Amino acid sequence: MYLAPSLSLVRRPASSPTPRQSKPGAPIAALDQKAAGIEGVAGGFGPRGGGGSSLARLASDLLSIMNLVEGADVTPTTQAVATSEALQKSLAEALSSWAEIRDKDVKSINEQLRQAGLPAIGM
């Protein structure tokens, strides 16, 4: 499942308000902050301190472990298997957080937008 388009749709109202909306409301700013935390940022090299389970970070880490496993002609090490399992668990948690935002927060904000006569966030 590719979530970047959905995350950018959720984040769009806060970064580019409509003419009828001179500045984003507090609920939209809070939603933007939640979506940004789940989305994360891609890229970067070198050691990564502080952990993190953003979708960008998880995608990078899962790709790294896949390349490690696929690049060897041997059974994956127990460390590689354990890392893969931990990453899959973190991914499930991140996707659960995204589903909660999509199903609760966006729905609530869409209702507020409709009441204000503004277009809803489409998914």
Mean pLDDT for each 10-residue chunk of the chain (123 residues)? 54 50 68 89 51 84 94 93 95 94 92 88 83
DSSP string over the chain? ---HHHHHHHHHHHHS--TT-SS--HHHHHHHHHHHHHH------S--TT----HHHHHHHHHHHHHHHHT-SSPPPHHHHHHHHHHHHHHHHHHHHHHHIIIIIHHHHHHHHHHTT-PPPP-
Instruction: Look at the chain and report how many structural domains it folds into.
Output: 1
In a domain, 9, yes or no: yes
- Look at residue 15 and tell me if it is in a domain: yes
Q: pTM of the entire structure?
A: 0.67
The pLDDT of residue 15:
46
Domain of residue 56, residue span: 4-42+51-115
Q: Is residue 122 part of a domain?
A: no
Q: What is the per-residue pLDDT for 52?
A: 64
